Amino acid sequence: MNRRVYAVILASGKGERMNCGFPKQFAEIKGKTIIERSIEAFEKNENVDEIIVVSEPSTIEKIKEIVQKNGYKKVTKIVPGGAVRAESSSIGVGEVAEDDAKVLIHDAARPLVTQRIINDCITTLDSCDAVHTAIKATDTIIEAENGMMKTATERSRMMQVQTPQGFRAGTIKKAHCLAKKDGFAGATDDCGIVFRYGLADIRIVEGDRTNIKITYPEDVAVAEIFIEA
């Protein structure tokens, strides 16, 4: 059975670390805004049926204009996000009616997501309820507290996570419901929430070193190099 595939694109952040005077999703990389590039990756994917954009409340109209201007046909909803990422994500997923649909949650701030990653996430959800995108860590990771090293880790076992993160809608809705009761405390990414409440085994799809998150101004230059290549 072919389950309906939704992409929830999170664009309700303020982009404070980017410090460009407006939410970073509207910054341009090689003539196109970050939000356009992120929406386009899912718009052109033949396995994605519908796109829900979660927007900063004050930029909903701006996103509507972008959707109209580009003629994106899969964007069915643009909804206002919440105070923290997990809340925005729960609002977006809440727009998906069917519990057995596949939902890919993606940071608008990762405009270079590849078609291969999107397809691998969708296919992997045929045989599990949750999928994470991650790459092997290149730097050694330590745990620290108050300026002191607390825990050493084995680099070969460490991975850096990216998005999309994919779920059966029912699984992620249940996770968000539990996280909401806890005030979304400590909730960063969606797989982290599912993991915390032990709701599903989480398979890992190989991400890509080019699938960077635009966080600081210098990340734009890196993205430009990847686009040129």
**Which residues contribute to the site for ligand CTP (CB under 6 A)?**
10-18, 24-25, 54, 81-85, 88, 107-109, 213, 215
Q: By CB under 5 A, what part of segment 37-76 binds Mg ion?
A: none
Q: At its nearest, how many Å lie between ligand CTP and the CB of residue 27?
A: 11
Helix (H) or strand (E) holding 43: helix 34-43
Q: How far is 37 from 114, CA to CA, in rounded Å?
A: 11
> Residue 164 touches which of ligand CTP, Mg ion, none (CB < 5 to 8 A by kind)?
none
Q: How far is 107 from 111, CA to CA, in rounded Å?
A: 8
Quick one: 128 or 222, whose CB is closer to ligand CTP?
222
Quick one: 12 or 171, whose CB is closer to ligand CTP?
12
Q: At its nearest, how many Å lie between ligand CTP and the CB of residue 15?
A: 4
CB under 5 A: which stretch of 10-18, 47-55, 111-119, 140-148 binds Mg ion? 10-18
Quick one: 24 or 174, whose CB is closer to ligand CTP?
24
Per the CB < 8 A criterion, the answer to whether 175 and 194 are in contact is yes
Q: At its nearest, how many Å lie between ligand CTP and the CB of residue 79?
A: 11
CB under 5 A: which stretch of 13-21, 25-33, 37-45, 195-203 binds Mg ion? 13-21
Per the CB < 8 A criterion, the answer to whether 78 and 67 are in contact is yes
Secondary structure (DSSP) of 78-147: EEE--SSHHHHHHHHHTT---TTSEEEEEETT-TT--HHHHHHHHHHTTS-SEEEEEEE-SS--EEEETT
Residue whose C-beta lies closest to ligand CTP:
13
> Residue 88 touches which of ligand CTP, Mg ion, none (CB < 5 to 8 A by kind)?
ligand CTP
User: How buried is residue 196: exposed, middle or buried, by Cβ count under 10 Å (0-12/13-18/19+)?
Assistant: middle
Q: How far is 175 from 172, CA to CA, in rounded Å?
A: 5
Q: How far is 106 from 89, CA to CA, in rounded Å?
A: 9
Q: At its nearest, how many Å lie between ligand CTP and the CB of residue 156?
A: 27
Residues that bind Mg ion (CB under 5 A): 13
